[in-house]
Amino acid sequence: MPKVRSSNIGYPRIGEKREWKKSLESYWANTTSQEELLASLKEIRLTNIQKQKDAGIDLIPVGDFSLYDHVLDTAVSFGLVPDRFEYNGGKVDLDTYFAVARGTDSAVASEMTKWYNTNYHYIVPEITQAPTTLVHNRVLELYNEAKAELDIETKPVILGPVSFVKLSKNQTGLSEKDLIRSFVPLYAELLKELEASHVAWVQVDEPFLNGEVTEADLDLLQEVYAQLDVAAPKVNLLLQTYFEAVDDYEAIVNLPVQGIGLDFVHDEGKSLQQVAKYGLPSGKILAAGIIDGRNIWKADLQEVKHIVDQLSVLVGEGQLILQPSCSLLHVPVTVSLEEELPEFLKAGISFADEKLEELVALADVANDVRDEEILEASAEAVRSLNESSSRNNEDVRALLEEIGDSVPTRAVEATERLRLQQEKYQFPLLPTTTIGSFPQTKEVRQKRLKWRKGELESAQYEQFIRDEIDKWIKIQEDLDIDVLVHGEFERTDMVEFFGEKLAGFQFTKFGWVQSYGSRCVKPPVIYGDVAFIEPMTVKETAYAQRQTNRPVKGMLTGPVTIFNWSFPRTDISEGQVVNQIALALRKEVEELEKEGINLIQVDEPAIREGLPLKKEKTEAYLKQSVEAFRLSTITVQPETQIHTHMCYSDFEAIIESIDALDADVISIETSRSHGELISAFEDFTYNKGIGLGVYDIHSPRVPAQEEIDRNISRALSVLDPTLFWINPDCGLKTRKEKETVEALRVMVAAAKQAREQLVTSPE
């Protein structure tokens, strides 16, 4: 056995050119059969495994591949399907699996929310009773597939029982502890079946350990893993953590498992300090996450080798495994396809395949298989990027120094602003609006692609965009929506669009990552100092406003969201990068206002997802986020109404920071959480405009009016009706035109009915 081995925690599912996405959507559109779908996904899955083997990875994950989401995979393995999907037991069939994730005409989809502080979304399991059966051991099936098809020994990956329950909705009436205990026999059965097939290592992910962990949690972990160790003693369990350092190192490394996976990238040096101080139990494996699995920058391998050298001394020979800090699900597949990147930048970037190369190089050097010179190129690439003019813009640095440490504040307080705005716009009670985007049809995408390729003249493309705006302004007027949007037909993505027009950003051609389901995003790369160049949204928004007497919102993506949904540079602080973006957006806000656009929405859907896993870091992060948002919006006149939007999150913990944003109107996703967010406002007085999304746009179904009526009624039980807005959960870009119009028609009808009831109510 080598002194140091290499391992991977997880690999991107989507394929180099999103073949996975195309296969899924073709099946959902009924243009391919189930057999064709499964065959194409199998090919992607096996290709991923073979690539990792060819790269030289010793421990290759299996079970990390999913048809939609790995948390949903775990749920259906135990037959956990909500009753509304009429599941009758046994292995969950493919269409039921997709129905839980996407909904049907008669059943709403399960809730979807962020995977810790990442931009990946998982389907939240609904557990109504303690599980009794392992209905499908999918990781065993996938392990056997890799062995039979490729003759490759793999490492099954499962989501651990404690994290799984904590990520779920417990609707059983059992305590969390007792519900976790009910899963142990089923996990034991799963491991026994793996043991019978001579599986050597199983990676058990328990990411909750990198957050706030109680003594009771640690006691329960000890109990759970002691039972699993007894159940399958010949299987080596690697307890995997990621995204942060663990606080309870001593307790965790002494759990009855054979290996512990720790993050040595996002730990602020804490993991190495813990190993140095407390050591590692004899014979136990340390899987050290030394290559960043969440960002795309090449590591300075000479610096990383210093950590490897220290760990090699601190743990016994053969006890060290090198791996990414987390699953590579969060980064694109390969840089090799990026032929248009500037060479100095391409040399400094590392996607999934390149990260595996980095790991193998470090392991080879540690095992004296290769000379240390192989590490020098990475150090030079990092140095060259840091010294480039793009990262040393003196004008941007001067602007940052100018704002100093003062907290940006609008000149007029919120209540007075809302009075002035209502006086100006005369909004009806319960005004209706949408979040921003309208369906991007195949024709819209094709026209944009042709224009980008030079196959369509700019004048023709601009006329096409204006025609789309005209069409949807009329649709909105016919639907009698109160505040309109131009539809964002010129935009590929709500972050990419702005990044393309700001200095300091670069875009890839195939740098896609999974966000939710088949939805993939291509995060911009923030590689240099960010600066405003010229107006970005004014032309289309001003055109739309000229076509109607109703107000049209200007639509921008906020600084924190642009940061969180990009691959940001790491050579300067997060706060500095976010404030650079905020200052650039402020200029765009001012340009919109100059053109008479006096409702401006600065979306911040990603504030909650960036929340640190450690409570002690939360206050600083939220303060930074609030100040950046304010920095981008404070210069407008009191009559200019600032909107913002957030989605997919448990907001109770940050309700005060939402208030502190000082936006005039905020819209928040709430339909998939069935109105649970509303409880946050029962104990918090919110004196600004607010719209709690009244229907779920991520499902293709058109909501019944009764569903929207219930959501409105529940909201009005705790919110001031004079402050309440009615809107969908999120943008409508991914929906079809017909379903969008019908859903909005139902929404407006529900709003008018609620408005009439409020006007005629004796109260």
Binding site feature residues: 18-21, 114, 435-437, 488, 519-520, 565, 603, 609, 645, 647, 669, 730
What residues form the annotated binding site for 5-methyltetrahydropteroyltri-L-glutamate? 18-21, 114, 519-520, 565, 609
CB-based contacts of 198, cutoff 8 Å, min separation 6:
none
Longest CA–CA separation in the chain, Å: 84
Q: Tell me the pairing of strands 519-521 and 259-263.
A: unpaired
Cα separation of 607 and 314, whole Å? Answer: 39
Which of these, 57, 73, 228, lies nearest to 152 by C-alpha position? Answer: 57
* CB-CB contact of 666 with 689 (8 Å): yes
Which of these, 548, 516, 215, 571, lies nearest to 388 by C-alpha position? Answer: 571
Query: Is residue 89 classed as helix, strand or coil in its secondary structure?
Result: coil
Q: Tell me the pairing of strands 519-521 and 513-516.
A: antiparallel
What residues form the annotated binding site for L-methionine? 435-437, 488, 603
CB atoms within 10 A of CB 240: 31
For residues 413-433, one letter each, b for 16 or more C-beta atoms within 10 angstroms of the residue's C-beta and e for the rest, the string is: ebeebbebbeeebebeebbbb
The rounded Cα 707 to chain-centroid distance in angstroms is: 27
* CB-CB contact of 181 with 162 (8 Å): no
Burial of 287 (0-12, 13-18, 19+ CB in 10 A): buried
The rounded Cα 608 to chain-centroid distance in angstroms is: 10
What residues form the annotated binding site for L-homocysteine? 435-437, 488, 603
Residue 712 in tokens: 């409105």
Alpha helices in 426-564 (DSSP H): 442-452, 458-479, 496-499, 538-546, 559-564
Q: Which 8-state DSSP code applies to residue 593? A: H
For residues 359-381, one letter each, b for 16 or more C-beta atoms within 10 angstroms of the residue's C-beta and e for the rest, the string is: bbbbbbbbeeeeeeeebeebbeb
Cα separation of 366 and 6, whole Å? Answer: 11
Region of 630 (left: φ > 0; alpha: ψ -120 to 50; beta: rest) is: alpha
The DSSP bridge partners found for residue 484 are: 552
Backbone angles phi, psi at 638, to 5 degrees: -55, -35
For residues 325-350, one letter each, b for 16 or more C-beta atoms within 10 angstroms of the residue's C-beta and e for the rest, the string is: bbbbbbbbbbbeebeebeeebbbbbb
Backbone angles phi, psi at 506, to 5 degrees: -140, 150
* CB-CB contact of 156 with 202 (8 Å): yes
Cα separation of 91 and 89, whole Å? Answer: 7
Please report how many Cα atoms fall inside a 13 Å half-sphere around the Cα of residue 540, on the Cβ side.
26
Which of these, 450, 305, 416, 414, lies nearest to 370 by C-alpha position? Answer: 305
* CB-CB contact of 488 with 539 (8 Å): no
Which of these, 448, 451, 538, lies nearest to 486 by C-alpha position? Answer: 538
DSSP string, 485-510: --B-TT-S-TTHHHHTTEEEEE--SS
Active site residues: 698
CB atoms within 10 A of CB 133: 12
Region of 487 (left: φ > 0; alpha: ψ -120 to 50; beta: rest) is: left
Region of 368 (left: φ > 0; alpha: ψ -120 to 50; beta: rest) is: left
What residues form the annotated binding site for Zn(2+)? 645, 647, 669, 730
